[in-house]
Chains A and B, each alone.
Chain A
Amino acid sequence: MSKKLSPEEIVKYFKDEFKTKIKSTQIRKKVAGLKKKESYSIWMKIDKSIFKPFIKRLCDLQFPHLAVTSGNDLGKTIELIYHFTLGYGTRFGEIVLNVSVELPKSKPEIETICDYIPGALVTEREKQEMLGVKIIGIPDTRRLFLPDDFPKGVYPWRRDETGPEKMYKNLHEVKK
């Protein structure tokens, strides 16, 4: 990318293609230091149906840096948030793009983005084991952090009955 993109231009780039499927956008500005240099971040909520085309359009703009994906258990849905950054390489040019997708708990599935961004493998494997999300097409489905003898069906980040409460241990307990 040769010229610096502004956050409004990036939002417009996606809204042009996907129009109403983008549910909401928010641009935040932060200043720091004596000279008050600004840095921007964009928060977007998108519909699950345009997820893969959205990622493709993002890669066409500039190859993004996928920092990590985080997840929330919101009761009836599971929300996955992909944290990308664009514009690295020029001073003060980086813009953080946070894309949030909601999946229903009855069918928590989403496509993989490993074919566009091979570096996403590690974070997608983590979502599979921690939240119980099924990533379609992932090249490697093994567990990442949890030991192999951890019971199946227990998802440590969930807040419902599949949470890790049954594996809980208090190290301070003094047994008589």
Chain B
Amino acid sequence: MAKGLTKSFKKALWVYHCNSGSCNGCDIEIIAALCPRYDVERFGIKLVGSPRHADVLLVTGPVTRQMADKVKRVYEQMPDPKAVICVGNCGNTGDVFYESYNLVGPINEILPVDVHVIGCPPRPEAIINAVAKAWVKLETLEAKK
């Protein structure tokens, strides 16, 4: 999968997805990553319905004023160790929405981001690559303990 993954993570990696106001393009590609063509479930990566069970947070979209609070709350609900992946150009730099009266900043002004995935929308392969990198980070965090 990725360099640095020396031994397998003790449990499977559970991912929670949060949409902070995106156009849904990135969200479709995230779900396409679960479908039989790319099939991440064979690696043990699963999409869960609650942030309390998740290890990795996938955030999409430029953060609108209304969603800034919610995204922060979701991040706080996740237990340690955790990683944040920012999917898509909107969350990274604003992309086409770089000037607006209703958006509050790229995501790294609100949450600490570990992996940035660029693309509009990024291909499912790029998203899987990002999750693998986050996996490596979580493994190193776990090994440090």
Contacts and interface: CB of A to CB of B under 8 A. Distances in A.
Interface of A: 146-147, 149-150, 156, 164-165, 167-172
Contacts of B62: 171
A168 B101 CA distance: 4
Given A169-B104, A170-B98, 16 more contacts: A146-B102, A147-B65, A149-B65, A150-B65, A150-B102, A165-B101, A167-B101, A167-B102, A168-B99, A168-B101, A169-B105, A171-B62, A171-B93, A171-B97, A171-B100, A171-B105
Contact of B98 (A164, A165, A171): A171
Contacts, number: 36
Main secondary structure of the interface of B (DSSP, over half): loop
Interface residues of B, number: 15
B87 to A, nearest CB: 16
B101 A147 contact: no
Contacts of A165: 101
B103 interface: yes
Contacts of A146: 102
Contacts of A150: 65, 102
Contacts of B97: 171
A8 B110 CA distance: 58
B77 interface: no
What 5 A-B pairs are tightest by C-beta distance, nearest first? Answer: A171-B94, A164-B101, A167-B101, A172-B98, A171-B98
